[in-house]
Chains A and B, each alone.
Chain A
Amino acid sequence: MKCFVGIDLGSTTTKALILDEEQQILGRGITNSRSNYDIAASVAKEEALVNTRINLVRQSLEPVSTLFENLEEFLSGLERTFRLEQFMEQLADLESVCHTNASGNRFASREKTIIADALRKIFHQLREEAPELFAPGASRKSDFFRDIAGSRYLAIGEASARELGLSFDLLLNVYDRSIIEVENHFGEGDARMMMLQALQRMLKVTPELESQKNIILEKVEQAYNIELEESYVVGTGYGRARLPFSKDHIRSEILCHGLGAHIMYPETRTVLDIGGQDTKAIQVDPSGIVSSFQMNDRCAAGCGRYLGYIADEMNVGLHELGPMAMKATRKVRINSTCTVFAGAELRDRLALGEEREDILAGLHRAIILRAMSLLSRSGGISDQFTFTGGVANNEAAVMALKGLIQENYGEVTVNIDPGSIYTGALGAATFAHRAMEEHA
């Protein structure tokens, strides 16, 4: 099966998307961007392949769906189990790297013993907790190993450090060194094997399927036996220049976002993308060709990162900001979206007795105001308008945006795809598909 891969290497996350020959989406994957761009791209692609396989498994099992009480439930159980397998494997890797890093000459021997003790405790507990994390309906702050493992490591580590009379900083130091190493290990796990292991487990906990075991295994094998031939890869995103691709496998993220938005919503004429460190306003013509674009200037004011600082300052998750802001009851005007002063502005406002929710609503509006200027700079807003990027998932930002569009441009259809974070990767994969056609 011919596959066309798009990889979008962003400042915070790296996304991959795979298209088939009919330009149908086979799978999508995402990971956090890291110091090694090559690895980030590979991990994202691997994630997209896993997702592709699950979709293929679905296709393969669909003809025999009557075997299952609920095929979708089974599949999501399978994926969760697979994720757990994957997590356990990475955890084992992290543990061994931590031990190695803790046994270096930097620590006194008494310290070494205590640290090793602490690590054993931490990882024991992490393993114990893991199934909970991937239980049906469990909510995770993030899907990235670094975040899940990291937040628990810190929590458990702090407690055990106190218990063992150890400086928590030492444990933190070990973790910081190790996670970077682990993130840059790649390709040690065999996804196919893990998936089969996951399947075995699923079958074990679902006794009513015992009699159909062979058919199911065969179908899953079938799905895995489809050869995925990587026909063409196109890379994009801010880090694209650092991808190990030749020049004809690279497209600017502006073009990819324009095309991706066009594929998602063919009537799109204006695209706004608010990512971690930049904001893009793009105008596209009826065939998805970019006719003009503007990006924020050097300063990252008003980008997604700004919300990140605010979340850090408030000590809440990034995804909690929007819902909090939605509870605002008063309009607060915030004029500065300078990331440097974000914290100071917030504290100043709180000190003045303003409500956290109201301030947050003001901050969201301020970010969107910056975006409105950029849109205006690029040529305004034409129907239809497509909003993409991480901030498009933030309901308070969306509400502010819709309001301002209405005020300034009247009735405009606003498209937001739940998978909008993959817009650039979709554009890149489409370019990959087109490049193949041209070469043919």
Chain B
Amino acid sequence: MNNFQNGGSAAIVDRCRRLFDDLEFSEVREWKAAEKGRKVIGYMPVYVPREIIHAAGMLPVGILGGGDQLEVIQGDAYYQSYICRIPRSTIELGLTGRLDVLDGMLFPSICDVIRNLSGMWQLMFEDKYVRYFDVPQNYARDIGGSYYVNELKQLLSDLEKLSGKQISPDDLWKSIEVYNENRRAIQDLYHYRAKRPWKTPSPDVYLVIRAGMVLPVEEHTQLIRDYISAVEKEEQVMRDNCRVVVSGVFCEQPPLNLIRSIEMAGCYIVDDDFMLVTRWLLEDVPTSGDPLENLADGFLNHSNETSAKYVPVTSDKGQYLVEAVRKNQAEGVIFAAPSFCDPALLDRPMLQNCLAEENIPYTAFKYAENSGQMQPIREQAGTFADSIKLWSA
């Protein structure tokens, strides 16, 4: 199982980098071809219950746009200049056949652009299974909860139809368990990075987590474990960087260069909201009782806060970010939001107010998945790091 023991963390990161660069989803294709009848379901940010897809024997694949290496021609034809990049490059991936491997696509409730993309997908890819995956903004068990359980049931029955196989509660238990394990591994990695960020460069951590978008979950969990044990054995120079939380990167992804630039400019990222699907549920989902009820309970009561979710209690707004700063002993927050990202940009002033009240410094900029210029970001992050050092001195 473990191919990396001799290559150290670099070999693991290399493999993740290849997965990241591969816009053809070759490994997903290989997985699908390995056994007759295998199905693949794509999903977009911010959250879908991958356990159900897994329980249906399918491979969930995270679709996070085309990055900075994809030339977007057709996708651009569908969007005005004031709409973010991720739906364009996703359409480009679809129209160029790169997503043919997918048998279906789930579009979670995150914003109106992704919501509408679900309908566009229905019109453009008529032979594929497409579902807009709505989640409740009401967190009462018998109101939002029962709505959500029914939505999960619908998803489950759709996938049963697609796969032609019944999903038993046992299948669900097993899937919940492997995802619990995956979440634990990711949590361990985040904890490790928060403790020794110099040993776990953020671009590497990003790539390791990102690999979970395309790898089977069991393999991904092992990969994370291998990575942690590899870095533990390696010596790295600790730099005089400040510690920051990066916020706003939960949907359209920044170029890898941007993550690298932040770190090179003198900021260790000790927490972030990349790929929240892997950390959406904050606790293990219990493996006894009704599996769908448990998944729903996790969503309602133990899930990550992000801009796509409503916060019922005013005083709770933004506290998760303050908490993330405290818990990880961060010294500041970098708000990095994709241009035209409604959730991130509308939330930002409120989050900034929360930080200001706690005297937590922050800085903010925008990016696009294909941003080419890093100089302004390096400068801004560098200035931010310097000013933090000055304040704390």
Contact = CB atoms under 8 A, between A and B. Distances in A.
B73 A344 contact: no
A372 B74 CA distance: 8
Interface string A396-422: 000000001000100000000000000
Interface size bucket, A side? 20 to 34
Nearest to B369: A335
B81 A374 contact: no
A439 interface: no
Interface residues of B, number: 18
Contact of A335 (B77, B78, B372, B376): B372
B373 A404 contact: no
Contacts of B74: 373, 376
Contacts of A116: none
Contacts of B72: 369, 373
Contacts of B375: 348, 351
Contacts of B376: 344
Interface of A: 297-299, 301, 333-336, 341, 344-345, 348, 351, 369-370, 372-377, 404, 408
A345 B372 contact: yes
B76 interface: yes
B261 to A, nearest CB: 12
Interface of B: 68-69, 71-74, 76-78, 80-81, 368, 370-373, 375-376
Contact of A336 (B78, B80, B372): B372
A298 B81 CA distance: 9
A366 B76 CA distance: 13
Contacts of B71: 333, 369
Contacts of B373: 336, 341, 344-345, 348
Contacts of B371: 335-336
B81 A373 contact: no
A49 to B, nearest CB: 42
B81 A297 contact: yes
Contacts of B372: 333-336, 345, 348
B77 A369 contact: no
A376 B81 contact: no
Contacts of A348: 372-373, 375
Contact of A408 (B68, B69, B73, B81): B73
Contacts of A375: 77
A372 B68 contact: no
22 contacts: A297-B80, A297-B81, A333-B68, A333-B71, A335-B68, A335-B370, A335-B371, A335-B372, A336-B372, A341-B373, A348-B372, A348-B373, A373-B73, A373-B74, A373-B77, A374-B77, A376-B77, A377-B76, A377-B77, A377-B78, A404-B73, A408-B73
Contacts of B77: 373-377
Contacts of A351: 375
B338 to A, nearest CB: 14
Nearest 10 CB-CB pairings of A with B = A373-B76, A376-B77, A377-B77, A335-B370, A372-B73, A335-B372, A373-B77, A297-B81, A348-B375, A348-B373
A358 B373 CA distance: 16
Given A335-B68, A341-B373, A301 B81 contact: yes
Nearest to B80: A297
Nearest to A377: B77
Contacts of B76: 369-370, 373, 376-377
A369 B75 CA distance: 11
Most chain B CB atoms below 10 A, which of A341, A345, A372, A374: A372
Given A336-B373, A348-B375, A369 B73 contact: yes
A333 B370 CA distance: 10
A301 B80 CA distance: 13
Contacts of A369: 71-73, 76
Given A335-B371, A369-B73, A376-B76, 9 more contacts: A333-B71, A344-B373, A344-B376, A345-B372, A345-B373, A369-B76, A376-B73, A376-B74, A404-B73
B88 to A, nearest CB: 9
Contacts of A376: 73-74, 76-77
B372 to A, nearest CB: 5
A105 B161 CA distance: 89
A298 B372 CA distance: 23
Of the candidates B74, B372, B375, the one having the most CB atoms from chain A within 10 angstroms of its own CB is B372
A230 B343 CA distance: 60
Most buried by A among B74, B77, B368, B370: B77
Nearest to B255: A335
Q: Report which residue of B72, B81, B376 has the largest number of chain A beta carbons within 10 angstroms of its beta carbon.
A: B81
A408 B77 CA distance: 14
A373 B75 CA distance: 8
A344 B379 CA distance: 14
Contacts of B81: 297-299, 301
Nearest to B373: A348
Nearest to A368: B73
Contacts of A372: 73
Contacts of A299: 81
Contacts of A334: 372
B84 to A, nearest CB: 14
Nearest to A299: B81
A408 B81 CA distance: 22
A109 B105 CA distance: 79
Contacts of A301: 81
A271 B69 CA distance: 29
A278 to B, nearest CB: 13
B313 to A, nearest CB: 41
A10 to B, nearest CB: 22
Nearest to A352: B375
B79 to A, nearest CB: 9
Contacts of A374: 77
